[in-house]
Amino acid sequence: MIIKKIVGFLTSLRLTVVLLAFSIILVFVGTLAQVDEGLYGAQAHYFKRWFVIGVDLFGHKLPLILPGGYLIGTSLLVNLVAAHVYRFQLKTKKIGIQLAHAGVILLLVGQLATDILAREMQLRFVEGEKRSYSESATDYELIFKNGGQETAIPATLLNPGEALKISSLPFTIKVKTFWKNSGVSFRAPMMKSNPLVASNGLALNFDFSSSDEVKSMDQKNIPTAIIDLISPAGVLLGDWVVSGWTGDAGSIETVTEFYQSQVGAEMARKISGQLAVPQSLELDNKSYVFVMRPARIQHNFALTLLKATHTVYPGTDIPKDFRSRVLVENSATGEKREVEISMNHPLRYGGYTFYQYQMTAGEMAEKQGITPSSVLSVVRNPSWLTPYIGCGMVGIGLIIQFMYHLVGFVSKRKTP
């Protein structure tokens, strides 16, 4: 009896209707919230959640509790599968509708899988540069290099006050300060007015400061931490600043551009060059080089940027085409071939997909006198095919159903 009730509930059309209604509300609210929270913020707050507690809209807090994206998605999935299994009939009349619903199930499962499995990264290279790794656009890691050995600590572990003891490192890392987003400025030799943020390395030449977190898609949070390194005996070895500003070519380029207008190109390069110098620590005759950089994923193949082309429509700045000619090298398979990656034409290789993302090339690069560079967006998504199949199933299913009704409707009218 109870089982029958549960089955009745899980397969009921009323449940579907309620879930659909909630999903409409959630999507609507989650769209409005993007004005305040930004795309990623709203995604985390509304869609990648089981429950949404408290809603912020246009700066107003509303005491609302909504089912989150995960809850609605899973419930819809359960409802659909249950109804599908329970009511399945092999009749011509129902084939269309069943195919369409099976397609929706596949889409939901596919999105769930994407959510769990997909990783999004970036690969930035200048013409002639060879790269065999991709970098995260949002996550950073603190790296300690000792000879060939590398230890990576995700920046998310660097909580202020925390003392990290890692087995491969002989010292303890004590986090004094961590800023999710930060700014950097050069300490001009004549104007050393601010106190040093740390007493060693980079901090002698640069000031770092906390910045407001950014939320929009085209801005980036660059973290900075101030750390104490403490020997096994408990002796303070010194304090250092480690910053995302130092670890990748993109942010160093930003610093160069900033100083270019103030002190000229040559000086600006010198300043940003100093920022790129790695910091190190000597302990027990071993040297540990450390740097904070975007989190990396190593590929077993390499890409070399041969040529970056950026064309615009004549007499305007409207981009017409971005295009990267890339050499793919894979020692395992012996491949060495050239491919072209452009907008709407990604390269799928080695389980990853490489998309043309940003570019500094063409006239713009010429004017600034820099080597053309290209940024590829790198995605690993094992379930990338599901939407294609799911969409096809729903489309065909709905067409079958629709034609079935239409034919019925027309023939009914013809024979009154």
Partner 1 sequence: MKKWIPAILTLVMAAWFLGNLSVPADKDFAYNDFGLLPVTANGRVLPMDSLARNSLLAIREKQTLNAEPWKGWNEKPRIIPATEWLVNVMMNPDVANDWPVFRVDNPDLLSLLKLPEKDIAKKLDGKHYSWNQIQPGLAAFDKESERVEKIDSANRTAYENAVGKMHERLTLYTQLENAVLPTDAQDWPAELAAYEKLIPEGVAAVQAQQAGSAFNTNYFNAFAGYIQRFQFMAGWEPPLILPPNGSHQQWRRMGDALLDAPRGTPVDDAIHDYAKMAGALAGNNPEAFNAALRDYRSTLVPTQTQALAKARSEVFFNQLEPFYGAMVIYILAGLLAVFFWFNMSETLRRSAMWLICLAFVIHTFGLVYRMVLEGRPPVTNLYSSAIFIGWGAVLLGMILERFFKNGIGACVSSVIGFITLIIAHHLAREGDTMEMMRAVLDTNFWLATHVVAVTVGYASTYVAGFLALIYILRGVFTKTLDVDTGRSLARMVYGIVCFATLFSFVGTVLGGIWADQSWGRFWGWDPKENGALIIVLWNALILHLRWGGIIRERGLMNCAVFGNIVTAWSWFGVNMLGIGLHSYGFTDAAFKWLILFVGSQLGIIALGLLPARMWKSFQAKPGQTPA
For partner 1, the binding residue among 7, 10, 23, 330 (CB under 8 A) is 23
Question: Considering only residues 74, 114, 185, 371, which one is a binding residue for partner 1 as defined by CB under 8 A?
Answer: 114
> Which residues, at least 6 apart from 214, have a Cβ–Cβ distance to it below 8 Å?
38, 181, 220, 221
Query: For residues 137 and 307, is the Cβ–Cβ distance under 8 A?
Result: no
Question: Is residue 380 within a helix (H) or strand (E), and if so which, with residue range?
Answer: strand 373-380
Among 319, 336, 363, 382, binds partner 1 (CB under 8 A): 319
Stretch that binds partner 1, among 108-116, 199-207, 225-233, 267-275 (CB under 8 A): 108-116
CA distance 381 to 378: 10
Interface residue with partner 1 among 87, 130, 192, 320 (CB under 8 A) is: 320
Q: CB neighbours of 279 closer than 8 A, spacing ≥ 6?
A: 200, 201, 202, 240, 242, 289, 290, 291
Candidate residues 179, 186, 208, 322; the one interacting with partner 1 per rule CB under 8 A: 322
Residues 6+ apart with CB under 8 A from 166: 151, 153, 173
Q: Which of 1, 190, 233, 318 binds partner 1 (CB under 8 A)?
A: 318
142: nearest Cα among 281, 304, 257: 281
Interface residue with partner 1, options 167, 316, 411, 415 (CB under 8 A): 316
Q: Which range in 164-172, 236-244, 261-269, 385-393 contacts partner 1 by CB under 8 A?
A: 385-393
User: Measured between alpha carbons, how far is 416 from 412 in angstroms, rounded to an integer?
Assistant: 6
How many other CB atoms are found less than 10 A from the CB of residue 297? 14
Number of Cα atoms under 13 Å in the Cβ half of residue 219: 12
Show Cβ contacts of residue 14 under 8 Å, excluding neighbours closer than 6 positions. none
Nearer to partner 1, 241 or 365 (CB): 365
> Smallest distance, Å, CB 32 to partner 1?
7
Cβ-in-10-Å burial (0-12, 13-18, 19+) of 56 comes to middle
Q: List the one residue from 344, 351, 411, 415 that touches partner 1 (CB under 8 A).
A: 344
Part of the chain binding partner 1 (CB under 8 A), chosen from 13-21, 125-133, 152-160, 276-284: 13-21
| Residue 391 interacting with partner 1 (CB under 8 A) | yes
Q: Is 346 in the site for partner 1 (CB under 8 A)?
A: yes
The residues, any chain, with a CB within 8 Å of residue 187's CB and separated by 6 or more, are 194, 204, 205, 206, 207
309 binds partner 1 (CB under 8 A): no
Nearer to partner 1, 125 or 322 (CB): 322
- Considering the complex, state which of residue 189 and residue 315 has its C-beta at the smaller distance from partner 1: 315
Note whether 88 binds partner 1 by CB under 8 A. no
Residues touching partner 1: how many (CB under 8 A)?
62
Q: How far out from the chain centre does Cα 15 lie? A: 34
Q: Does 277 bind partner 1 (CB under 8 A)?
A: no
Residues 118-157 that bind partner 1 (CB under 8 A): 118, 120
Name the residue nearer to partner 1 (CB basis): 37 or 239: 37
Phi, psi of 375 (to 5 degrees): -115, 125
What is the nearest approach in angstroms of partner 1 to the Cβ of residue 115?
Answer: 10
How far are the Cα atoms of 145, 227, 237, 284 from residue 234, in angstroms, in the given order? 22, 15, 9, 15
Q: Which of 149, 199, 216, 333 binds partner 1 (CB under 8 A)?
A: 216
Strands 163-165 and 149-154 turn out to be unpaired
CA angle 51, 69, 36 (to 5 degrees): 80
Give the per-residue contact string, 155-174, with partner 1 (x = CB under 8 A; - = no): --------------------
- Residue 105, both tokens: 């199930």
Q: Which residues bind partner 1 (CB under 8 A)?
A: 13-14, 16-17, 20-21, 23-24, 27-28, 30-32, 34-35, 39, 42-43, 47, 107, 110-111, 114, 118, 120, 216, 312-316, 318-322, 343-346, 353, 355, 357, 377-379, 381, 384, 387-388, 390-391, 394-395, 398-399, 401-402, 405-406, 409, 413
